[in-house]
Amino acid sequence: RKEVEQDPGPFNVPEGATVAFNCTYSNSASQSFFWYRQDCRKEPKLLMSVYSSGNEDGRFTAQLNRASQYISLLIRDSKLSDSATYLCVVNGGNNDMRFGAGTRLTVKP
């Protein structure tokens, strides 16, 4: 079993749609969690950290459920520019950052 698993996707949604991505992790001692965004042929870049109480940044909402070892990312009112691959990242402790395989999103007009 992989340490970090994500919805395989791809997700193809129309502009304005709401889309949710899920991620599970196997290491119960994991300390911190992140969502990264990666555009085609570019490096991953931080989208947002995920806090225990859940957090929101504009149209993006991240949730963490430690009991179920589950992280989610919700994107509301999708824009064409949201098309990218979304990577779930888990810090297993001591700077051990592990990535999921990524979920590809395409937002269509």
Partner 1 sequence: EAGVVQSPRYKIIEKKQPVAFWCNPISGHNTLYWYRQNLGQGPELLIRYENEEAVDDSQLPKDRFSAERLKGVDSTLKIQPAELGDSAVYLCASRRRGASTDTQYFGPGTRLTVL
CA distance 108 to 13: 6
**Piece in contact with partner 1 (CB under 8 A), picked from 58-66, 67-75, 76-84, 89-97:** 89-97
- 14 or 95, CB closer to partner 1? 95
**Of these, 55, 83, 91, 106, which contacts partner 1 (CB under 8 A)?**
91
Distances (CA, A) of 82 to 15, 27, 31, 104: 9, 29, 27, 10
Which one of the spans 14-22, 37-45, 61-69, 70-78 is the region binding partner 1 (CB under 8 A)?
Answer: 37-45
Q: Please identify which residue in 19, 102, 105, 107 interacts with partner 1, judged by CB under 8 A.
A: 102
- Of 20, 45, 59, 108, the one binding partner 1 (CB under 8 A) is 45
Residue 25 sits in the site that holds partner 1 (CB under 8 A): no
Whole-number Å distance between alpha carbons of 18 and 67 = 25
Identify the burial level of 47 via C-beta atoms within 10 angstroms of its C-beta, where 0-12 means exposed, 13-18 middle and 19 or more buried.
Answer: buried
Residue type, 54: G
Q: Which structure tokens are listed for 33? A: 């969690």
Smallest gap from residue 4 Cβ to partner 1 (A):
8
